Amino acid sequence: MTLLAKVCGLTHPDDVAHAAGQGADLLGFVCHPPSPRHCADLGVAVPFLDRAVLVMVADDAATILAEARRHGFRKVQPHLPAAAREAGVQLLRAAGLFVLLPWADEPGQASIAADLYLWEPSPAATGVPGGSGQAHAMGFPPPGAFLLAGGLDGDTLVARLAALPVGTRTQLAGADAASRLEAARGRKDPLKVAAFIHCVHGLESP
């Protein structure tokens, strides 16, 4: 089975269209004003709602659900406080949304059912929720199928996947990249985007 390629941190219509045209399976749109990849106009996702993922930092899932409904998103990547994660994910899934749950590479997390997981660096290590361009040690895997994230692009992907712990490889569903695909903060480099997508799609799931 071909792995899924997710291009995240999209902010500009040209970048969205290019990533979609290159065959990205998932397109991530960040709704978090402090982020340099904050998408000020989520309307740019509307032509691609079959692949669009609302990536949102919020104190509660109801806020994320309202934003998803406002723009027609069917998939969400909710960055919620630990105390609100389980109930929040249940709310979002009960509302019919596909949940790509961020899973930090850190111990002590409650096993929460989700449609797919995003295995990413711990915010405690990077200082930010979500994308940082940094890799992680891959020591604390999610409890289900996942996209690998953290420090990935077309040049680093193969080596990172080869370093996956043996017990996690059957759960690998794809890869996610954001900051390392940029030409400038918030804007993508078309060649890097194409190289990443084609590299992901050139690999088979274990």
Tell me the two tokens of residue 140.
């604390």
**pLDDT of the residue at 18:** 98
Low-confidence ranges of the chain (pLDDT < 70): 124-132, 205-206
Residue 44 one-letter amino acid: V
Q: How far apart are CA 122 and CA 148, in angstroms?
A: 13
Instruction: Give pLDDT, residue 136.
Output: 84
pLDDT of residue 205: 63
Of all helices (H) and strands (E), which one includes residue 4?
strand 4-7
Q: How far apart are CA 78 and CA 49, in angstroms?
A: 17
Tell me what pLDDT residue 78 has. 97
pTM value?
0.95
Q: What is the pLDDT of residues 159-170, one digit of tens each?
A: 999 999 999 999
Per-residue DSSP letter, 28: E
**pLDDT value of residue 1:** 75
Q: What is the pLDDT of residue 146?
A: 98
Give residue limits of the domains in the chain: 4-201
Q: Give the closest residue to 191 by CA, choosing from 26, 17, 22.
A: 22
Domain 4-201 grouped into CATH 3.20.20.70: yes
pLDDT value for 127:
62
d(CA 168, CA 176): 16
Which two three-digit tokens encode residue 200? Answer: 């992901």
Cβ neighbours around 5 below 10 Å, total: 26
How far apart are alpha carbons 176 and 92 in whole angstroms?
Answer: 22
Residue 198 is encoded by which pair of tokens?
Answer: 């084609």
CA distance 188 to 201: 19
pLDDT of residue 28: 98
pLDDT at 130: 62
